[in-house]
Amino acid sequence: MYLKHGLRLKKIIRVLRFKQSPWLKKYIDLNTTLRQQAKNDFDKIFYKLMINSVYGKLMKNVRKYRDACMTTKWEGHKAKLLYTDTDSLIYQLNVPDIYEHIKEDSQRFDTSDYEPNNPYGIERRNKKVPGLMQDENNGQIMLEFVGLRAKMYAYKVHNDKIVKRSKGSTLASVKKI
């Protein structure tokens, strides 16, 4: 893949060979199904954490951590990362219509929480499928964003609704801000 994008290979030091098998597939599929069928938020979060905790512990090897980034499409100045957390990203996207991009790549998005007759014409699909991107605002356009640190941010959407998040702070103190 990298060679197609212009990487020049000078030397091969070591080659690893292994057999891959889907030995956790049944467990992941079971928890995904139970999460999709969950009737309350506790169960939804519980089954998501069951998947994430097993994956995280099995993949953890701090001695071999590496930072890698692969970009398949350069957007230049159109995309700017504003905030990141364990399982979320907030981007500033300077494109004419982001919802056209979502419609074109709908297989990469969980759009199940959108209104059935949303003004963007995005079909509802991929409910709670792990690994897909999701618009947490469900079509409400974010106009302003302030991110102070991890798990402490606020944003305003187009109907003048302000959402504030501050983990570790009381609800009363967050409302005063």
Give yes or no: residues 93 and 52 share one domain.
no
Domain limits at 49?
Answer: 25-61
**DSSP symbols for 40-103:** SHHHHHHHHHHHHHHHHHHH--GGG-------SS--GGGEEEEEEETTEEEEEE--S-HHHHHH
Give yes or no: residues 50 and 132 share one domain.
no
For the cut 70, the answer to whether the pLDDT of residue 124 exceeds it is yes
Confidence of residue 169 (pLDDT cuts 50, 70, 90): confident
Mean pLDDT of 129-134: 88
> What is the H or E stretch that residue 32 is in?
helix 25-37
For the cut 90, the answer to whether the pLDDT of residue 38 exceeds it is yes
For the cut 90, the answer to whether the pLDDT of residue 174 exceeds it is no
Which tens digits make up the pLDDT trace of 45-54?
A: 999 999 999 9
Give yes or no: residues 98 and 42 share one domain.
no
Mean pLDDT of 98-109: 88
Give yes or no: residues 85 and 165 share one domain.
yes
Average pLDDT over the chain, rounded to an integer:
87
pLDDT at residue 3, as a whole number: 86
pTM: 0.54
For the cut 80, the answer to whether the pLDDT of residue 76 exceeds it is no
Mean pLDDT of 154-175: 86
Asked if the structure places residue 155 within a domain, the reply is: yes
Domain count, the chain: 2
Mean pLDDT of 69-79: 68
For the cut 80, the answer to whether the pLDDT of residue 177 exceeds it is no
Asked if the structure places residue 2 within a domain, the reply is: no
pLDDT at residue 37, as a whole number: 95
